[in-house]
């Protein structure tokens, strides 16, 4: 009996441990897509409907994670994040991004945006690039997607969440959001109350600002994780406002980007 128990435990671990999701979880991405839907102008809405048919930004937002195990899409694996050294100032990050030609979430948001603007881009590619754009704007607003290379954006930083062993990255991808016990539409409705001024400011922020905001937030989370790795109610209380703000900013900024691409 003991042996069977051990074996099933080993099997459970084998199945469970290698699974390390690399994005806001399903909920986070859908919330960003759902918020964005409500900030689109009429022309953009129409153009997006031509590409997605009866689907929605929310329902297409996780495509980039769904295809991760397909070898023909392996080239997309490093599109989800960007890493930086520590202690960089905003001007330093801006300077770096200006010259950046590597493959990362920032350069690829720019790439798919410009491909979506082109009339000549074929419909099936437009569908793929739109799916990618919705996903990556979400990822860029998850602080740990702008983390440090040496620990894979927090994937190698062990923490416990209500006694469950996990890592800092997936806590921010998924567990903090799931803890709120809301569906993606309930969540989007709960947070989707930006002021007119916030919408205006967020949508006119340069994308380097999006990057820097996540970078600064990630730095705080790293520092906190050096002192304490056992998290529960207090951690939720301390950080849920940040989670909500990042999801909201992600959605509002995604809509701004889409309005720029399709709306005129
Ligand atoms: N996911 C996988 N590797 C990562 C990294 N280096 N930074 C952020 N997210 C990641
Ligand atoms: Zn991702
Ligand atoms: Zn992630």
CATH number at residue 203: 1.10.575.10
pLDDT at 7: 62
Q: Which atom of ligand 1 is nearest to the CA of 22?
A: 1
Provide the token pair at 19: 């699974």
- Residue 41 belongs to some domain of the structure: yes
Provide the token pair at 249: 């900013």
pLDDT at 217: 98
Give 176 Cα–ligand 3 centroid separation in angstroms.
13
pLDDT at 25: 86
Q: Percent of the chain scored above 70 by pLDDT?
A: 91
- Residue 242 belongs to some domain of the structure: yes
Residue written as tokens 């954006």? 153
pLDDT, tens digit (0-9, with 9 covering 90-100), for 25-53: 899 999 999 999 999 999 999 999 999 99
Q: At 231, is the secondary structure helix, strand, or coil? A: strand
Residue 163 φ then ψ, to 5°: 70, 0
pLDDT at 94: 98
pLDDT at 188: 98
Q: Which atom of ligand 1 is nearest to the CA of 145?
A: 8
- Residue 19 belongs to some domain of the structure: no
Name, in order, each residue with C-beta under 8 angstroms of 131's C-beta and a sequence gap of 6 or more.
Answer: 60, 61, 63, 64
Residues of the chain with pLDDT under 70: 1-23
pTM: 0.92
- Residue 174 belongs to some domain of the structure: yes
Provide the token pair at 10: 């080993």
Question: From the CB of 149, is ligand 1 less than 6 Å away?
Answer: yes
Give 8 Cα–ligand 2 centroid separation in angstroms.
31
- Residue 47 belongs to some domain of the structure: yes
Question: From the CB of 201, is ligand 1 less than 6 Å away?
Answer: no
Give 24 Cα–ligand 3 centroid separation in angstroms.
5
Please say whether the beta carbons of 81 and 153 come within 8 A: yes
Domain of 136 in residue numbering reads as 25-262
pLDDT at 17: 46
Identify the CA nearest to 203 among candidates 81, 40, 34, 23.
40
Give 63 Cα–ligand 2 centroid separation in angstroms.
9
**Nearest residue CA, atom 1 of ligand 1?**
22
The mean of the pLDDT values for the chain is 94
Question: From the CB of 22, is ligand 1 less than 6 Å away?
Answer: yes
Provide the token pair at 210: 């999006």
pLDDT at 177: 98
Sign of the CA dihedral with 221 first, then 146, 32, and 204 last: positive
Please say whether the beta carbons of 72 and 181 come within 8 A: no
Q: How far apart are the first and last CA of the chain?
A: 68
The domain total for the chain is: 1
- Residue 9 belongs to some domain of the structure: no
């Amino acid at each position: 009996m003991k042996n069977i128990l051990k074996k099933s435990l080993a099997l459970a671990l084998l199945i469970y441990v290698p699974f390390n999701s690399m994005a806001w979880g399903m909920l986070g991405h859908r919330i960003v897509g759902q918020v964005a839907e409500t900030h689109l102008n009429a022309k953009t809405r129409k153009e997006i409907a031509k590409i997605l048919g009866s689907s929605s930004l929310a329902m297409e937002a996780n495509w980039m994670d769904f295809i991760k195990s397909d070898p023909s899409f392996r080239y997309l694996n490093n599109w989800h994040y960007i890493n930086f050294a520590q202690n960089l100032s905003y001007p330093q990050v801006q300077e770096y991004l200006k010259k950046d030609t590597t493959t990362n979430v920032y350069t690829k948001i720019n790439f798919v945006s410009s491909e979506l603007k082109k009339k000549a881009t074929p419909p099936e590619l437009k569908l793929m690039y739109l799916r990618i754009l919705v996903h990556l704007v979400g990822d860029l607003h998850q602080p740990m997607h702008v983390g440090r290379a040496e620990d894979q954006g927090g994937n190698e930083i062990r923490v416990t969440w209500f006694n469950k062993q996990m890592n800092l990255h997936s806590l921010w991808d998924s567990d903090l959001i799931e803890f709120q016990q809301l569906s993606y539409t309930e969540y989007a409705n709960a947070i989707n109350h930006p002021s007119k001024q916030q919408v205006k400011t967020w949508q006119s922020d340069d994308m380097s600002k999006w990057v820097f905001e996540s970078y600064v937030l990630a730095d705080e989370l790293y520092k906190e994780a050096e002192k304490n790795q056992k998290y529960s109610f207090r951690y939720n209380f301390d950080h849920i406002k940040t989670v909500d703000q990042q999801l909201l900013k992600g959605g509002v900024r995604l809509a701004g980007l889409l309005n720029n691409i399709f709306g005129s």
